[in-house]
Structure 1
Amino acid sequence: MATASTSCDKLPIDWEVLCAEGPALTNHVGCVIGNSFYIHGGVTKYGTTHPSDKLYKMELLSSRWAEVTDPGSPSLSHHACVVLENRYMTLIGGWDGRQRVTKIYVYDTQEKRWLFMNDSGFPEGAGLSSHAATVFSSGRILIIGREGSLRLQRKHGNVYELTGSVLSGQFVYRKMTNATSSRSGHTVNCLGNTVYIIGGRDDQLIEFHSGYSTAEPNGSLTSKFANIVKSCKPMTKPPSGRKNHVTFTGNGCMIIHGGETFDGRSREPVGEMFLVTTKPHLTYYKIGNASVSRASHVCVNTGDRVIIHGGIAGKNVVHGETYELKLRK
């Protein structure tokens, strides 16, 4: 019988502690703007329905977290985040403690203030949570699942385009299709002109759609990811479905870390890492089991650095450590 995975002979990459003491959060969001790593919201205790309104910033040169106390920060978890104009941390949807919302909040990292945007076009009586978003070079934002009623657990696989600007204070949702699979806790990444939707359900690990274009991280680290396959053998079949993982891209490849699997092996977050090359077709490689097992964590990729923060691990403990990915020599 064919095995599901073939690991590398030696784990070629792993996580190393960047900051051992940070805000303990899960189901939060994050981004890098300039030399600063921002994280927002989430929850401090597994299972709670009361999201945080805290915003934190780590200067990448010092690797220390500090709370940003500018007034107006919204209480949100299970939301999405994109960066606009290399200045605005833009929060989309999420759970506000009472219901799913479609509101757009913006933190201006230059003026150091919160801005509330007006939004329109989303179906009445529905909201967003555990969805994923990516921004294109044009400034248009693609939002994929999870749309549902304001409080119930029904979910849909709809895709929306969000257009507008911070300057105008106006954003408009437009439904593009409902032909995608229903997912929750998935990731969305763009390589070349193709969007890859990963995880969030027990089957069809990766779904992809062409005809898009966005800027990809271009740095010394991400350009080396594809070299990892030289020490690994392709898997005979794709990994099992998973959710609440992270995915980051390199030169013609994607790397998946952690999450919660649907295969019944474990009810706790895993440390598995997989590399997926996209040409000439999707090929999977199991890098191995990382030293850090996490789910519902935040990942940022500058091209030269990949950093994760927080999330849950064994026994649903919420963590506050920050790790940086290191290539083994």
Structure 2
Amino acid sequence: MFFKFLYFIYFLIKGKCLLSVFLVSLRWMKLPPVRITGHERAREVPYMRYGHTAVLLDDTIYLWGGRNDTEGACNVLYAFDVNTHRWYTPRTSGTVPGARDGHSACVLGKAMYIFGGYEQLADCFSNDIHKLDTTTMVWSLINARGTPARWRDFHSATIIGTKMFVFGGRADRLGPFHSNNEVYCNKIRVFDTETNCWLTTPSTQPLPEGRRSHSAFSYNGELYIFGGYNSHMERHFNDLWKFSPENFTWKKVEPKGKGPCPRRRQCCCMVGDRIILFGGTSPCPEQGMGDEFNLMDHSDLYILDFSPNLKTLCKIAVIQYSLEQSGLPHDIRWELAAMTTNSNISRPIFSSHG
């Protein structure tokens, strides 16, 4: 695990913007509030937002983009040092991307790639690729060759090898312009970072439904997607799909155990052989799974274990067969309780973002 801990930066919950950094190692612990002294120091702490991205590179989390309804969108780069727990704003130069939200960010080597999103100043969807070299802190707009991926926001972009795999997101029939005629592409688009070229890719059935605000991650050289939302279908998803870059085929995965309910906006982090999934939003139970506006936040945490150990398998068996727990160590009983007890602290929110 990353320094035996996992960080979540989560700014929008229950319809209110919060500014928190959480550190988790089996049990949750909230870090002390960031101390802000003086106007200049306050500017180094990101304001409350949604639709941003946060990536880890070495010991630094880079946060970029996002917006809120008061401040609008942002294009300032913020950095969080995981050792000192301090925010700061690195000095950057070059062609800085326009302020936006709903973009994607991924890391290859010492570079961060930004793709797509909805640009505030241009008031349109984007399909540009920007690159930040973190060794020089210089932004550049990539002059990509080939047929680019469609303009979109709230998609996913995942690095496998030297290629960026883009899936899903919300597009529009009018191209870059927002007309509420949404398009949900379900085809993989691939960008080669070595040649700066969009590649022509085949489509092989079966394909997952197009969606936005899903999660994507890579494991053992394959791409996985989970969850998301499609407004045409009025449906939230909780399906898990695996994509093979070698033969360009999709396969639906049916994990064992009880998985998350249909949702979108969750975050997923790979830690060793495990995916840790936290939060997300779903329609209120009385509204039905297609309702886009009456949503509830989740505070639950799920683990998808690709290589479960004997301890994990035994805990699953204790739960599955309702075995006696009184003779087990306290820590094991606590973990069993955490695996079977809901965190009912969420309230309905009213939102249409993402």
TM above 0.5, yes or no, is yes
Question: Are residue 298 (structure 1) and residue 253 (structure 2) matched?
Answer: no
Shift in alpha-carbon separation, 1:283–1:76, aligned structure 2, 3 A: same
The answer (yes or no) to whether the contact 2:49–2:66 under 8 Å persists in 1 is yes
Instruction: Select which of 300, 309, 315 maps to 2:278.
Output: 309
Q: Which position in structure 2 is the counterpart of 1:76?
A: 49
1:119 deviates by: 3.2
Post-superposition offset of 1:122: 4.2
Deviation for aligned residue 1:194 = 1.7
- For CA contacts below 8 A with separation 6 or more, give which structure has more relative contact order: 1
What pairs with 1:18-37 in structure 2 (closer than 5 Å)? 33-37=2-6
Cα separation, 2, equivalents of 1:275 and 1:266: 23
Q: What corresponds to 1:149 in structure 2?
A: 120
CA distance in 2, matches of 1:294, 1:243: 11
The higher radius of gyration belongs to 2
Q: How does 1:98-117 map to 2 (within 5 A)?
A: 98-117=71-90
SS for the counterpart of 1:160 is strand
Match of 2:224 in 1: 255
Secondary structure of the structure 2 residue equivalent to 1:317: strand
2:206, 2:251 within 8 Å by CA — same for their partners in 1? no
1:177/1:71 Cα in 2 relative to 1: closer, same or farther (>3 Å)? farther
Q: Give the Cα–Cα distance (whole angstroms) in 2 for the partners of residues 117 and 155 of structure 1.
A: 27
SS of match in other structure, 1:53: strand
Q: Give the corresponding residue for 1:265.
A: 233
Relative to structure 2, which stretch is displaced further, 299-308 or 282-291?
282-291
Match of 1:94 in 2: 66
* 1:245 alignment counterpart: 214
Letter in 1 for 2:14: K
The question of whether the paired residues in 1 share the 8 Å contact of 2:111 and 2:131 is answered with yes
Query: Residue type matched to 2:138 in 1?
Result: V
CA deviation string 1:71-117 (max 9, x = no partner) = 354222211111122x1111112114421111111111112211122
Tell me the distance in 2 between the aligned counterparts of 1:89 and 1:95. 18
Report the identity percentage: 21
| Alignment partner, residue 301 of structure 2 | 322
Q: Is the Cα contact below 8 Å between 1:157 and 1:181 reproduced in 2?
A: yes
Alignment: residue pair count:
262
Aligned residues of 1:88 and 1:109 also touching (Cα < 8 A)? yes
Structure 1: give runs of 5+ residues left out of the alignment: 1-31, 214-234
Question: How far apart are residue 293 of structure 1 and its match?
Answer: 1.8
**CA distance 1:236–1:155, change in 2 (3 Å):** closer
Instruction: Provide the secondary structure at the position in 1 that maps to 2:88.
Output: strand
* Corresponding position of 2:12: 43
Q: Structure 2 length as normaliser, TM-score?
A: 0.67
Q: 1:51 to 1:174 in 2, by over 3 A?
A: farther
Q: Is the 8 A contact 1:121 1:174 kept in 2?
A: yes
Q: Deviation of residue 204 (structure 1)?
A: 4.5
Counterpart of 2:102 in structure 1 is 130
Matches within 5 A, 1:224-235: none
Q: What one-letter code is carried by the residue in structure 1 that aligns with 2:249? A: T
Instruction: Normalising by structure 1, report the TM-score.
Output: 0.72
Distance 1:93 1:171, change over 3 A: farther
